[in-house]
Amino acid sequence: MKSFTYERAATLARAAAALTKTGTKVIAGGTNLLDLMKLQVESPSQLVDINRLPLDKIEDTPEGGLRIGATVRNSDLAADSRVRQRYGVLSRALLSGASAQLRNKATTGGNLLQRTRCYYFYDVTKPCNKRNPGSGCAALGGFNRAHAILGASDQCIATNPSDMAVAMRALDASVETVNAKGESRAIPITELHRLPGNTPQIETTLKAGEIITAVTLPPPPPGVQIYRKVRDRTSYAFALVSVAAVVDAAGGRIRSARLAFGGVAPKPWRVPQAEEKLAGASASADTVNAVATAVLDGARGYGSNDFKIPLTRRTLSAVLAEATRT
């Protein structure tokens, strides 16, 4: 690990001001950042610790939703009674991620900003356009079992590893930030993460000095909430394919559905045209096929991850069957 100066932020404004300097990183849980620093994938010259700022509350909003502070731990968010009762898909997604020890440390904001787990991104001896722009992508012709089938580019085929963000995408969450001038803004979660294009090193739409302060959930949408995660082992593994679903159905007929996919793209993946096909439909095999085809529009495999295309179809089919069972 390269050396750095450490500062415990006394105020949010101070943290945002420090963050405008090149080489400064915010540290909260640190479970991803320190891992990357040990490997020198990340080598910040300064760390600003925001753990003691008052960003750790989960509050009811006047609209009937929840406002989740940026440093609320993943375990506390998953266990919050309001989340368990009204946003089960979020609780379940959080509980499916990492281990209990990591969830006790990892934060809401940090989870959104965690880096990909592409093996070549982690291996500093390999080319990686995300880590070292212009050096190439070793995953394209390499072992790419974990990689994206949607939204990738010829520069980068890494996936976003978050489960939490997939559930938040299905729930239409909004990400609140503040900058060094004290200006705050709300970013729809769909606009937080960028597709790689020719600049895979730029992963979010956050600007220099902008800090995530909270995530706001609108009131829960009607319907059953499901998070289904398919992975190489049944616990403590990243998703190969995951589906966060909110499906409002009665008597076998679907009124509305929201479907967000994880493990398949550089950001939580949601296709409105696919969801529209479910409005007023039954979950028949034909419908499921048409929806899956719409979700997978433009999908392609890169060799080791070809299986993700049929796996996405099957996972979606299982989720819709479960959602319409009662």
Q: Which residues bind other proteins (CB under 8 A)?
A: 1-6, 8, 27, 29-31, 34-35, 38, 47, 49, 51, 75, 78-79, 84-85, 88, 91-92, 95-96, 98-102, 104-105, 235-236
Q: Pick the closer one to other proteins by CB: 306 or 322.
A: 322
The closest of 45, 48, 42, 25 to 130, measured between CA atoms, is 42
CB 284, min distance to other proteins, A:
28
Q: Pick the closer one to other proteins by CB: 93 or 291.
A: 93
Report the alpha-carbon distance of residue 243 to residue 265 in Å, rounded: 12
Q: Pick the closer one to other proteins by CB: 44 or 151.
A: 44
CB 75, min distance to other proteins, A:
7
| β-bridge partners, 211 | 178
HEC string of the chain equals: CCCCEEEECCCHHHHHHHHCCCCEEEECCCCCHHHHHHCCCCCCCEEEECCCCCCCCEEECCCCCEEEECCCEHHHHHHCHHHHHHCHHHHHHHHHCCCHHHHCCCEHHHHHHCCCCCHHHHCCCCCECCCCCCCCECCCCCCCCCCCCCCCCCCCCCCCCCCHHHHHHHCCCEEEEECCCCCEEEEEHHHHECCCCCCCCCCECCCCCCEEEEEEECCCCCCEEEEEEECCCCCCCCCCEEEEEEEEEECCEEEEEEEEEECCCCCCEECHHHHHCCCCCECCHHHHHHHHHHHCCCCCCCCCCCCHHHHHHHHHHHHHHHHCCC
Q: Pick the closer one to other proteins by CB: 51 or 190.
A: 51
CB 322, min distance to other proteins, A:
13
CB 325, min distance to other proteins, A:
15
Reported residue count of the chain is: 326
CB 166, min distance to other proteins, A:
14
Q: Pick the closer one to other proteins by CB: 81 or 272.
A: 81
CB 76, min distance to other proteins, A:
9
Q: Pick the closer one to other proteins by CB: 235 or 251.
A: 235
Q: Pick the closer one to other proteins by CB: 140 or 246.
A: 246
CB 268, min distance to other proteins, A:
19
Q: Pick the closer one to other proteins by CB: 17 or 79.
A: 79
CB 32, min distance to other proteins, A:
9
